[in-house]
Amino acid sequence: MTTALIDLKAVGHDDRGVRVALAGELDFHTAGRVEPRLRDLAGSGHRLMVLNLSGISFCDSSGIELFLRLDRFCRAEGTRLVLCDVPPLLVKSMRVLGADRRLRLVAT
C-alpha cells in the first residue's frame, strides 16, 4: 500500500499576507495532515492567505471540503483566503460541487 504524499510550504509573507504552496495528492488522508498547519498559518494574524495549488496532482472531495472549511475559518479570523493557479481539473470539480461559488479562485 502506497501512502499519498502532500507537501505544504509557506513560501513567503509580508505586510499583505502569507503565501503557501501545496503540492502532491490531496485526499482524505493528506487533507487531515495539512489542515492544522493551514489553520495555524491562517490564524497567525495575516489579513490575506494565498494558496498556490499549481503543484496539486490529485484532489478529491475531501480536499475541496478542506478548502471550504479553511475558508470559513479564515473568515472567522478576519483573513481572506485566495486559491491561485488551481489546476483545470480541480476547477472543474469545484464547479460541479458548487465550491467555486464560495471560494475565491484567481489566475496569476
Write down the pLDDT at residue 1.
43
pTM check: above 0.85: yes
Residue listed under C-alpha cell 501545496: 22
Under 8 Å between Cβ of 46 and 79: yes
pLDDT, block means (10 residues), the chain with 108 residues: 72 85 94 94 91 95 97 95 96 95 89
d(CA 83, CA 50): 6
